[in-house]
Amino acid sequence: MKSTKCAIALGSNLGDSLTILKSAIETLKNTPGIAVKSHSSWYQTAPVGPPQPDYINACAILEVTLKPEQLLATLLEIEIKFNRLRREKWGPRTLDLDLLLYDNLILETPTLTLPHPRMTERAFVLVPLAEIAPDWVHPVTGSAIAQLLQTADCSGVQKMIL
């Protein structure tokens, strides 16, 4: 079966976020139909939305044999395994897995929009994604991730020293 290159964002700001995110990467590696090709460094980032703790964010490049909707369902299942609760929009969470890019697919369904509709506005996505996929061209804007990063406000994003 043909595999497709995808990009996802990972985030956490509840519980032992770094351990949760590392475990999520391992869970992805052990999920049928998903191969983790690379992941970025970890970044401490200021939250968007209601008052809450800072996040730890990263991005990963996957090779998948799953269709976009199957991949989204799998990411949501993994979030649930890590006790993700959806109480309020942009609220704190143990784990957030967002499908950013699925090759160069442009898709709009009731449950999935590709590329992710707000990724170009979010430094906490663009900084780690530019680290591992600077030349990936956003299929809507036609700009490489590194170019999109040049116009982002990165003041709330710090690379973590571990």
State yes or no: cis peptide before 115, omega within 30 of 0. yes
Each residue of 142-161: b (16+ CB within 10 Å) or e? Answer: eebbebbbeebeeebbeeee
Distance CA 40, CA 138 (A): 18
**In the prediction, which pLDDT does 84 show?**
67
Phi and psi angles of residue 38, each rounded to the nearest 5 degrees, phi first: -165, 160
The values of phi and psi at residue 109, to 5°, are -125, 175
pLDDT for the residue numbered 61: 98
Amino acid identity, position 114: L
Which residue pairs from 24-29 have beta carbons closer than 8 angstroms and sit at least 24 positions apart in sequence? Answer: 24/78, 24/82, 24/95, 24/97, 25/60, 27/78, 27/81, 28/60, 28/62, 28/78
pLDDT at 102: 98
Averaged pLDDT for residues 82-94: 74
Over residues 105-127, the pLDDT tens digits come to: 999 999 999 999 999 999 999 99
> Backbone phi, then psi, for 20, in 5-degree steps?
-60, -45
Which is nearest to 10 in space by CA: 100, 145, 136? 100
Domains, the chain, in order of start with CATH, read: 4-159 (3.30.70.560)
pLDDT in tens, 32-87: 999 999 999 999 999 887 888 999 999 999 999 999 999 999 999 999 999 866 66
Render pLDDT for 4-33 as a digit per residue (tens, 0 to 9): 999 999 999 999 999 999 999 999 999 999
Q: Which residue has the tokens 């649930």?
A: 80
What pLDDT shows up at residue 1? 72
Active site residues: 84, 93, 96, 98
